[in-house]
Structure 1
Amino acid sequence: MLVTLTGRSTVDPTSKDCCYLWELLTKSLFDLVAQGIIEESAVDSFNIPHYNPCGEEIREIVEMEGSFDVDKEDAFGICWDPDLGNDVGNNKDIIFDKYKSGQKVANCVRAFAESLLASHFGETIIDNLFTRYAHHMAEHLAIERTKFVTVLISMTRKY
């Protein structure tokens, strides 16, 4: 069996591999608090039940459960903006537009998070929130090429 899932490359559960998308979203929400658009208590009470495991954690759970042997575990990263490639520093053909990249990544996050955010904060804040988020994302991508990490685990069932 081959399992692939979004994870992180390090045992640190607060690494940028998995958490920085949410930190930038939180920063954007607090921008709206500062503007008086939403209440700080609404941000404090908002929780997304999300966890990105590292390969070691998955291996440990599989071994503890006992039905499978882990044959191989691997992880690889893909830039938040996949158009940048994974080695942007060496690719001279890429013209980097931080705002375009920030908007693309913000749109991806919006695709899976908008309904959660709208149900908690209301529909009226969504466009403003993701405008702020795209800006924060652009500023981040201008400094660092953070990557999504995919964890691959190959397992064989024990008989």
Structure 2
Amino acid sequence: MVISLVGTRSDVIASKFFLFPGIVAQILSVMVTEGVIDKEKFDSFYVPVHGPSGEEVREIIEEEGSFSIREMRVHDPTTEMNTALSTPRKFVNNLRALFEPIIVQHFGDIMDEFVRTAELHWSLDPDGSLQEERARTSRAMLVVSLAKVS
């Protein structure tokens, strides 16, 4: 069995931009101030997400004992990324792919407005702090090949 998940390169606390639910909350908060979504709905929105390190995944798998790790790779998704090609639109579309089912279930069909709000928010990032922070983030893709223990 092979599993792939978003995690971190180490046990170091991740930057704020690794915490995708935090970014989603920022966008939704703007939508509350614009009157697009209800504040009470926003206040009740909760997405428990955790990005484990490779070491943490290894420890959990070994402690549980049902599988052995054949191979584990930790890939930095930004290694070969040209940050000039990483536009706010692409970033927001990644957020949409990750969170659309959860957002639509909780708030209704607001995704077009979510995308518009997010793109506007980051297109107004005059000092480029979004790009810089994304380049410094500790996020990684963890890919683990597992074998069932007999």
Pick the TM interval, shorter chain.
0.7 to 0.9
Matched, 1:151 2:137: no
Query: Which secondary structure state, in structure 1, belongs to the residue aligned with residue 134 of structure 2?
Result: coil
Provide structure 1 residue ranges, at least 5 long, that are not aligned to the other structure. Answer: 80-84, 90-95
Q: CA RMSD in A?
A: 3.0
Query: Which secondary structure state, in structure 2, belongs to the residue aligned with residue 48 of structure 1?
Result: coil
8 A Cα contact 1:24 1:133, kept in partner: no
Query: Which secondary structure state, in structure 2, belongs to the residue aligned with residue 51 of structure 1?
Result: coil
8 A Cα contact 1:70 1:156, kept in partner: yes
How far is 1:29 from its partner?
Answer: 0.7
Q: Which residue of 2 aligns with 1:93?
A: none
Flag the 1:134–1:113 CA change in 2: closer, same or farther, 3 A.
same
Task: For 1:2-151, list aligned pairs within 5 A.
Answer: 2-12=2-12, 15-16=15-16, 18-19=18-19, 21-70=20-69, 72-79=71-78, 86=80, 88=82, 96=84, 101-123=87-109, 125-138=110-123, 139=125, 140-146=129-135, 148-151=139-142
Flag the 1:3–1:118 CA change in 2: closer, same or farther, 3 A.
closer
8 A Cα contact 1:8 1:17, kept in partner: no
For 1:143, the aligned partner's letter is: E
Task: Provide the rounded CA distance (Å) in 2 between the counterparts of 1:4 and 1:47.
Answer: 23
Structure scoring higher RCO (CA < 8 A, sep ≥ 6) equals 2
Q: Percent of aligned pairs with the same residue?
A: 28
Query: Which structure dedicates a bigger proportion of its chain to helix?
Result: 1
Task: Provide the rounded CA distance (Å) in 2 between the counterparts of 1:38 and 1:110.
Answer: 17
Aligned residues: 144
**TM-score, structure 1 length as denominator?**
0.69
8 A Cα contact 1:46 1:120, kept in partner: yes
For 1:4, the aligned partner's letter is: S
**TM-score, structure 2 length as denominator?**
0.72
How far is 1:69 from its partner?
Answer: 3.9
Flag the 1:34–1:17 CA change in 2: closer, same or farther, 3 A.
closer
Provide structure 2 residue ranges, at least 5 long, that are not aligned to the other structure. Answer: none
Query: Which secondary structure state, in structure 1, belongs to the residue aligned with residue 62 of structure 2?
Result: helix
8 A Cα contact 2:21 2:47, kept in partner: no
8 A Cα contact 2:88 2:122, kept in partner: yes
